[in-house]
Amino acid sequence: MAAYLLLVGRGRNGRRVVAQRRSDPLDSLTDEEVVSRYRLNKRGIQKLVQLRGLERPTKRSKALTPLQQVLTALRFFATGTFQSAIGDLHGISQPAASRAISAVAAAIAASDDAELAVSFPHDPVDVRRTQQEFFRVAGFPRVLGCLDGTMVPILAPHDDEYLYVCRKGFNAINVQAVCDARLLFTNLVCQFPGSTHDSFVWRQSGLGTAFESGDMPPGFILGDSAYVLRPWLMTPKLHVASTADAAYNAAHMKMRNLIERAFGVLKSRFRCLHKSGGCLMHSPEASANIILACCKLHNFCIREGMPDVEVDACVNDCQDVHLGEYPADGDSPLSRFPITVGVGKKLSFSGLPTNKPSQKSYAKIIEI
């Protein structure tokens, strides 16, 4: 636990002043205790401290150091508890904790560090290694990734709140992810409100567009029945007519269990993303940064070989049933309109109904 001292004195006007001298918790905690509290080991925390954008431009008013900001943000990601409680733990105010969380999430999301990377295999060596790892799971050949979406609860936005109400009845961002056999996320889309259908998210994503245009290496993506069958997107057979169909579905289900496990490990490790921790009390844009940051930290933890946090039963709510919710082609009832990506590109966004045109952006597009 982060320790801090209270220093009592008198200000210029004679009023009582209480200052907090913060200490470094890394000096008093073992590696196991650091991972338990902050989900990262000491090396990982020091790596985050070096990220750009955390050094405050002023030293006035005892500005938070990058280490204090990182520890505050990691504690919030791990627990999802109230920012006031996080602030009390680290000897800072609730507004300071909120600013630290946003700053660290944005810095991680913008980082190009290889150990935090979310990258889809393109190199022939990486493609072959990925396909071999998948084949060892269930004997399914030429698989490049498993695809699915999950809902991350957020605070109801002030504008067009109804767009973010998912089919489960709460406000959320629909996060699409692709993972490999090691549960590493290789592609993420954190741009669409909760009412958007998974199939629509895939068709508008950069990865889906690349497969459609034939710019990806040969292989398959495995998705559930929410997605439309394509030569590169394999879905389960709805009507089993032979033992071959049953064997295919059994292997497909075993492979797709990987993305469900990846979501379960992610939300168990970073409880701020799970509804048992409440919801992200941030705007959709800031929430997208937090989601992306947690996914990149998830990848770092796997690459470092850090132990998984025990997956609670309440976390295993990622598997969704999509049958009969939308037409067979997966069309969303929402219209499309362009919004600007952070790097200046244009993508389509599932937004307002056709009877209410608008160019307002409801969530920052983040796709890796």
pLDDT in tens, 167-202: 999 999 999 999 999 999 999 999 899 999 999 999
Query: CA nearest 325: which of 226, 201, 238, 239?
Result: 226
Long-range contacts, stretch 231-238, CB < 8 angstroms, 24+ apart: 233/147, 233/202, 238/323
- Name residue 205's amino acid: S
In the Cβ-directed half-sphere of 221, how many Cα atoms lie within 13 Å?
26
Cα pseudo-dihedral 121, 263, 146, 322, rounded to 10? -150
Alpha helices in 58-123 (DSSP H): 66-79, 83-90, 94-110
d(CA 78, CA 81): 9
- Average of per-residue pLDDT values in the chain: 81
Residues of the chain where predicted confidence (pLDDT) is lower than 50: 1-8, 10-11, 17-19, 313-366
Q: pTM above the 0.85 mark?
A: no
pLDDT of residue 309: 74
Query: Which residues are registered as beta bridge partners of 220?
Result: 143
pLDDT of residue 60: 65
Q: Do residues 268 and 308 touch, judged by C-beta distance below 8 A? A: yes
What are 312's two structure tokens?
């609670």
CA torsion through residues 88, 93, 94, 97, sign: negative
d(CA 199, CA 177): 12
- What does the pLDDT look like over 56-107, one tens digit per residue? 776 666 788 999 999 999 999 999 999 999 999 888 999 999 999 999 999 9
Query: CA nearest 45: which of 54, 187, 119, 89?
Result: 54
Residue 81, burial from CB neighbour count under 10 angstroms (0-12, 13-18, 19+): middle
- Taking only Cα atoms into account, the Rg of the chain, rounded to an integer number of angstroms, comes to 22
Alpha helices in 224-348 (DSSP H): 243-269, 284-304
DSSP letter for 195, please: T
